[in-house]
């Protein structure tokens, strides 16, 4: 796997999105990007757990300036999904 870094001009990404991404990475999630045959970019947030890869969010974007918003949406979706599953788990544990 090749890790990639996305460089964004200052003030183009909210600090909340950066915090969400850091939260996900700290929990062993990673972000991947693939170029499709239609020349679009497919982004995913996933992690490998024993025996399988768990994909928690996918976002597809045209190649171009839309990529920045697509990455933000991906991070927001993944963060929301993780926190919803934690809340559900906490609720079922308290019963």
Backbone angles phi, psi at 12, to 5 degrees: -95, -10
Host H or E run for residue 59: strand 52-62
23 falls within a domain? yes
pLDDT digits (tens, 9 = 90+) for 25-62: 999 999 999 999 999 999 999 998 888 999 999 999 99
User: Is residue 4 domain-resident?
Assistant: no
Token pair, residue 36, equals 């499709």
**How many domains are there within the chain?**
1
Give the pTM. 0.77
Parent domain of 19: 15-89
pLDDT at 91 over 70: no
Q: Residue 3 domain-assigned?
A: no
Instruction: Tell me the CATH number at 56.
Output: 3.30.160
| Residue 6 resides in a domain | no
| In a domain? residue 1 | no
In a domain, 30, yes or no: yes
């Amino acid at each position: 796997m090749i890790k990639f870094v996305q460089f964004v001009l200052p003030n183009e990404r909210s600090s909340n999105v950066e915090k969400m991404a850091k939260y996900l990475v700290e929990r062993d999630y990673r972000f991947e990007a693939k170029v499709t045959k239609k020349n679009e970019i497919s982004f995913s947030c996933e992690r490998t757990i024993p025996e399988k890869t768990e994909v928690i969010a996918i976002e597809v974007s045209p190649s171009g300036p839309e990529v920045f918003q697509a990455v933000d949406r991906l991070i927001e979706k993944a963060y929301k999904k993780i926190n919803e599953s934690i809340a559900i788990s906490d609720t079922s544990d308290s019963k």
